[in-house]
Amino acid sequence: MHNHAVGTPVPRKEGAEKVTGRAQYVDDLHMPNMIHGTTVRSQIARGKIHNITFAEGVPWDEFTIVTAADTPGKNAVTLILDDQPFLANGIINHPEEPVVLLAHPDKGLLEKARTLLHIDIEPLTPIFSIEESERREQIIWGDDNLFKNFLIEKGDLDSVWAQAAYIVEDEYRTGAQEQLYIEPQGMIALANPAEGITIWGSMQCPYYIQKALLSLFPLPPEKIRIIQMETGGGFGGKEEYPSILAGHAALLSWKSGRPVKMIYDRAEDMSATTKRHPSRSRLKTAVAKDGKLLGIDFQFDIDGGAYATLSAVVLSRGTIHACGPYYFPNVRVTSRAFATNSPPHGAFRGFGAPQSIFAMERHMDKIAGVIGITPEEIRRRNFLKPGQTTSTGQTVRENVDLNQILDRALALSDYHRKRAEFAEKNKGRATKKGIGFASFMHGAGFTGSGERYLQSVVAVEATREGRVRVLSSSTEIGQGTNTIFSQIAADALGIGYDQIDVGRPDTAEVPNSGPTVASRTCMVVGKLVESAAIGLKQTLVNSGILKQEYTPKEFRQACAAYIDKFGMLKSTTQYEAPPGIYWDDEKYQGDAYGAYAWAVYVADVSVDTRTWEVQIDDFVALQEVGRVIHPVLAKGQIEGGVAQGIGYALYEGVTWKDGRMINNQMTNYIMPTSADIPPIRVFFEEIPYAYGPLGAKGIGELPMDGPAPAILNAIENATGASVNEIPLLPEMLMELVHA
């Protein structure tokens, strides 16, 4: 096997289109006879719909109008619990809940019409917090407001409190965060009973959309075709939400008989679509005199909003990651996902892990402070070692040395020298400097049996000219799917990177490789690409048309010969779980993930105590990732994730009023600009993972976990202020210090 493309910075596969403005995003597409669609939404959080009135001011007879009554099939979005309607059916459960859809050829008039349609709602009492939900004075979902709960137990936690030299207890909170992809959500639908449905749109998971439309419309899967357009960022925000938008566009098209385009503007996208789940973590840890962690009681609660969406899975990941890269002989993690009357929360890079890891990493620094040792020392005494088990009882099988990773991160960031210097130099200064770190791990792929359940398929097909097409439903959303698949296939086949094409994710053309989520695209689907490519090669070799060792030219000739003889050259592979992975869904125990990536992030901050503004002066991100497939893309992933983590920690606060996001404009929802982002220095280590393509693990979500706790640990080092909540805006830091 030649190794020319993997590991080298080949040009991004679709890069030329992107830098010249030729890449086609959904809003760039026009169709003959196309009309525009919009959504009329509830302005209040909870109530009963009494009336819909159409005020004067637009020619209503020109409009296509769709309500819940117009759904041909089941008015429920197929996801996990199918509790969310496409359109509210008499009951409102959150602000911005969609009630009526409108379509018209004139986009401007459509917007005017939207403001002239009034929905009369008799209010019911809403709830907006985890606390209100768990009090259960108002039941807004199911019997008990609980979407899901988990329990992880290990050892005998109740016995450790008596033996503990120290018991450290505290509560940590994280706020909602908006994905803020720069391309808003959008779909075009062409739907009619005779021909079926075609959807073009901005999305991460074409097959999720297909599945959602299957129950909404009385059509078989072959008649529901989903095509991904170039997608301007997703980060999880386009994992499940696009199914709703696609359903809406399809409903309007179904009724009007014309193609319908629906593009959200920024204000609607921010207030109506999903966000990261807010969380509350209550940790109680038993620590021995020598600093060894004896046990942890971790209560992890998240706010899921009004419908279940993916809360169960977010909760799962947060639960499993809660205990961090440390050895705890005794564990109890109780986790719950609660319903509130906010717009449903959903997937966002990290998916529960940033929330629980924030709590754990802040707590570790706290423990260190209580027992009088350094943040570094508390980690060293408790890092997981090969052979030890995680909270779910998974044995660490790879040769990871967290102490060495920590050593390297601290050296790269000049941690010890800076810590000493800052302590000295901060005296009498208005601007205080501090340095802090977070150590963490992130499991790639679906949890436990999830990958097995997905049964992902990838195909690789050759043309007569010897070009090879990779066919998978994994979408390019900026992370580099097209590029790494091409690299992997090229090296597996021993041909040039330029000989590979990646088929557009179009359900009529590509098999279901599972969703583009969970950091699985490289590690899981990339491995399938590798296998399918090897399968293609084997087919050629086994047929006798190609020798075992060959040149790219011979490969091309062999493709032509094979196709002339047999008509088609295609190799398909389906996922098989790696051997030795055991997961018990009932007890929530066992091997939660095939592989973990391990990391230490270090933040160097300045805090201006006159204004309580925090500036990050240097950031080191060191991670072990199995194998770096593309050095520039990998760095790009980490840097982008760190930037989002910095936003999560210091800038991105959602301002809620009666359950609505009221700072739903880019001028008031503060994302870091190029002037705010520090130098981000990225470094990799590689312990190859046997079941990843060329040893690669997943890295997409990993960088989201580290920045927030590292930064808050640094702020504590700088000012002594111990903050347990993010986003930490200057107003809050000021209040805490002056309290």
**Of 201-260, which residues contact other proteins (CB under 8 A)?**
230-235
Asked whether position 180 contacts other proteins by CB under 8 A, the answer is yes
Tokens of 661: 């996001």
Q: Give the integer Cα–Cα distance in Å for 277 and 538.
A: 46
Choice between 209 and 638, CB closer to other proteins: 638
- Of 4, 7, 23, 74, the one binding other proteins (CB under 8 A) is 23
Pairing of strands 680-685, 725-726: unpaired
The least distance separating other proteins from the CB of residue 417, rounded to whole angstroms, comes to 16
Share in percent of the chain as helix, strand, coil (round to 5): 35, 25, 40
Pairwise CA distance, residues 162 & 580, whole Å: 37
| Residue closer to other proteins (CB basis): 577 or 671 | 671
Q: Are 188 and 33 in contact (CB under 8 A)?
A: no
| Letter string b/e over residues 161-200, b meaning 16 or more CB atoms within 10 A of that residue's CB | eeebeeebebebbbbbbbbbbebbbbbbbbbeeeebbbbb
Across the beta sheet with 293-303, what order do the strands follow?
146-154, 330-338, 293-303, 279-287, 166-174, 725-726
Question: Running DSSP on this structure, what letter comes out for residue 32?
Answer: T
Minimum gap (Å) between residue 634 Cβ and other proteins: 9
Asked whether 651 and 721 are in contact (CB, 8 A), the reply is no
From the list 172, 181, 497, 555, which residue makes contact with other proteins (rule: CB under 8 A)? 181
Residue 412 lies near other proteins (rule: CB under 8 A): no
Please name which of 661, 602, 611, 699 lies closest in space to residue 175, comparing C-alpha atoms.
661
Site for other proteins contains 667 (CB under 8 A): yes
To the nearest whole angstrom, how small is the minimum distance from the Cβ of residue 685 to other proteins?
A: 20
32 lies in the site for other proteins, by CB under 8 A: no
Interface with other proteins, residue 553, by CB under 8 A:
no
Examine residue 739 and tell whether it contacts other proteins (CB under 8 A). no
Half-sphere exposure of 312 (CA within 13 A, CB side): 14
Question: Applying CB under 8 A, does 498 fall inside the site for other proteins?
Answer: no
Least distance between other proteins and beta carbon 636 (Å)? 5
Scanning 302-310, 413-421, 434-442, 635-643 for contacts with other proteins by CB under 8 A, the matching segment is 635-643
Least CB distance to other proteins at residue 41 (A):
14
Residue 506 in contact with other proteins, rule: CB under 8 A: no
CB of 30 vs other proteins, minimal distance in Å: 8
Minimum distance from CB of 682 to other proteins (Å)?
8
Q: Out of 4, 25, 146, 398, name the contact with other proteins by CB under 8 A.
A: 25
Asked if residue 407 binds other proteins (CB under 8 A), the reply is no
**727 near other proteins, judged by CB under 8 A:** no
Packing angle between helix 707-719 and helix 631-646, nearest 10 degrees? 50
Local structure of residue 649 (DSSP, 8 states): I
CB of 332: closest distance to other proteins in angstroms? 37
Nearest approach in angstroms of CB 112 to other proteins is: 4
Point out which residues pair with 534 in neighbouring strands: none
Amino acid occupying residue 420? A
- Residues 676 to 715: which contact other proteins by CB under 8 A? 676-677, 679-680
Tell me the C-alpha distance between 521 and 700, whole Å.
9
Residue 21 or 387 with smaller CB distance to other proteins: 21
Residue 531 to residue 458: CA distance in whole angstroms: 9
- In the list 611, 686, 690, 720, the residue contacting other proteins (rule: CB under 8 A) is 611
Is residue 202 classed as helix, strand or coil in its secondary structure? Answer: coil
Is residue 190 a contact partner of residue 198, using CB atoms and an 8 Å limit?
yes
Interaction of residue 7 with other proteins, rule CB under 8 A = no
For helices 481-493 and 526-542, angle between their N-to-C axes, nearest 10 degrees: 30
Q: How far is CA 230 from CA 14, 188, 193, 223, 234, in A?
A: 9, 13, 28, 23, 11
Residue 542's H or E segment, with its range, is: helix 526-542
| Six-digit token string for 314 | 């977010």
Cβ proximity to other proteins, 43 vs 138, nearer residue: 43
| Candidate segments 142-150, 179-187, 359-367, 580-588, binder of other proteins by CB under 8 A | 179-187
Which amino acid appears at position 3 of this protein? N
Query: 447 vs 664, which CB is nearer to other proteins?
Result: 664
Q: Which residue has the tokens 């290990």?
A: 154
- Note whether 175 binds other proteins by CB under 8 A: no
Among residues 2, 18, 135, 289, which is the contact residue for other proteins, using CB under 8 A?
18
What is the contact mask toward other proteins in residues 98 to 127, using x (rule: CB under 8 A)? ---------xxx-xx--x------------
| Residue of 124, 577, 632, 687 that binds other proteins (CB under 8 A) | 632
Closest listed residue to residue 155, CA positions, set 280, 286, 281: 286
Measured from the CB of residue 441, what is the shortest distance to other proteins in angstroms? 21
Alpha-carbon distance 692 to 544, whole Å?
A: 30
- H helix intervals, 202-310: 206-216, 241-256, 266-272
20 binds other proteins (CB under 8 A): yes
Distances (CA, A) of 450 to 375, 445, 456, 463, 576: 35, 8, 11, 34, 12
| Number of shown-chain residues binding other proteins (CB under 8 A) | 84
Which of the stretches 330-338, 507-515, 556-564, 661-669 binds other proteins when contact is defined by CB under 8 A? Answer: 661-669
Nearest to residue 63, comparing CAs of 97, 98, 113?
Answer: 113
For other proteins, which residue of 1, 2, 3, 28 counts as binding (CB under 8 A)?
A: 28
Candidates 110, 109, 72; CA nearest to 214 is 72
Of residues 24 and 374, the one with the C-beta less far from other proteins: 24
Find tokens 């637009």 and name the residue: 58
Binding mask 294-313 for other proteins (x = CB under 8 A): --------------------
Q: How far is the CB of 182 from other proteins (least distance, A)?
A: 4
Which of 608, 617, 612 is closest to 679 using CA atoms?
617
By beta-carbon proximity to other proteins, the closer residue of 260 and 642 is 642
Residues 430-469, one symbol each (x = binds other proteins by CB under 8 A, - = not), give xx--------------------------------------
What residues from 35 to 74 belong to the interface with other proteins (CB under 8 A)? none
Of the two residues 542 and 673, which places its CB atom closer to other proteins in the complex? 673
- Nearer to other proteins by C-beta: 395 or 668? 668
Q: Contact at 8 Å (CB) between 315 and 130? A: no
Per rule CB under 8 A, is residue 24 in the interface with other proteins?
Answer: yes
Query: Is 548 a residue that touches other proteins (CB under 8 A)?
Result: no
Q: In the complex, what is the shortest distance from the CB of residue 614 to other proteins, in angstroms, rounded to a whole number? A: 11
Report in angstroms how near the CB of residue 426 gets to other proteins at its nearest: 9
> Interface with other proteins includes 504 (CB under 8 A)?
no
Alpha-carbon span 86 to 97, nearest angstrom:
9
Shortest CA distance to 308 belongs to which of 93, 76, 81, 130? 81
Least distance (Å) between residue 605 CB and other proteins: 14
* Residue type (1 letter), 273: T
Q: State the minimum distance, in angstroms, from the CB of residue 307 to other proteins.
A: 26
Supply 698's token pair.
Answer: 């997943």
Give the footprint of other proteins on residues 325-364 (CB under 8 A).
Answer: none
618 lies in the binding site for other proteins (CB under 8 A) = no
Neighbours of 292 (CB within 10 A): 16
Contacting other proteins within 640-659 (CB under 8 A): 640-644, 651, 655
